[in-house]
Amino acid sequence: MRVLVTGAAGMIGRATLELLAAESIAATALVLEEPDEPLPATEVVVGDARDVEAVARALRDCDAVIHLAAIPSPLVDPPEDVFGCNTLATFTVLDQAGQVGISRAAIASSYAICGLPFAPRQLTIPYLPMDAALPLQIMDAYALSKRVDEQTAEMVTARYGMDIVALRLPFVGTVEGRLTARAEELAEHPERGLNDLWSYLDARDAARAMLAALSPADPGAHVLYVAAEETLAPYPTEWLLQRFHPGVPRPEFPGRTTPIDLAPARDLIGFTASHPMPIEERPV
């Protein structure tokens, strides 16, 4: 198997290339610019994921696609750039893959598709645990782009018969960087995690999930939430929900259980996070 990884110079992209190399799977890396450091890829193609010719070059000899290339938030770039770049890149990559007969793809969607993280006002969650059936409350260009990406996957599956899994990724980082800083922040200010449900995923697990998503148990287009099984906050989930999401219909969540339905990811792609952050629990 040879896998095209778009956005390969990013944090998840590099982790994915490292995982593929460890699994002795050939990889083509599509990057926007020449990387500062060598990438662990069989081949590196420099080009824009929105560009048909660049994507066509990158797809040569590939059997599957892991699509990660995107503007990762609505906070820096103009909204028209966020929406336009993300949706065109996803369409171009998946449609070109379909045209050359590639039958498997995994794409990075986002937890932010629910609408809470970047909404201009505080929103209420209809129920918990969060799952793919939860009504979306999209109010920003990034979340909207991810919704269109998932719909693009549905179209490509219908048109070409490609199996595509869209993973709604939470806050992703590494122990040496973002995760440690975020854990310290949530310990002192747990309210800052209420819109993310204090969820997270180690970049190595994000890479594992993307690779696992290339082999779903059932054909078709699928949407899955993935996250670590326990939150990044050092407090019991019940305490967090009672304080910051009072009145939301839900079952009881023992310990620091992440209030997201992770069972579909276990059932469809066999994924469970295996790199939890070491969190020292605090009394409330």
In this structure, is residue 42 part of a structural domain?
A: yes
Among 83, 70, 61, 74, which residue's Cα sits nearest to residue 7? 70
Q: Which helix (H) or strand (E) holds 43?
A: strand 43-46
Domain total for the chain?
1
Q: From CA 84, how far away is CA 78, in angstroms rounded?
A: 10
In this structure, is residue 213 part of a structural domain?
A: yes
In this structure, is residue 195 part of a structural domain?
A: no
In this structure, is residue 248 part of a structural domain?
A: no
What DSSP state is assigned to residue 166? E
Contact by Cβ (8 Å): 82, 74? yes
- pLDDT tens track for 228-277: 999 999 999 999 999 999 999 999 999 999 999 999 999 999 999 999 99
- pLDDT tens track for 174-228: 998 899 999 999 999 999 999 999 999 999 999 999 999 999 999 999 999 999 9
In this structure, is residue 277 part of a structural domain?
A: no
What CATH number is given to the structural domain containing 29? Answer: 3.40.50.720
In this structure, is residue 193 part of a structural domain?
A: no
In this structure, is residue 156 part of a structural domain?
A: yes
Max CA distance (Å), the chain: 56
Domain range holding 211? 2-174+201-229+259-269
Q: From CA 129, how far away is CA 248, in angstroms rounded?
A: 10
pLDDT at 239: 98
The fraction of the chain above a pLDDT of 70, given in percent, is 100
In this structure, is residue 155 part of a structural domain?
A: yes
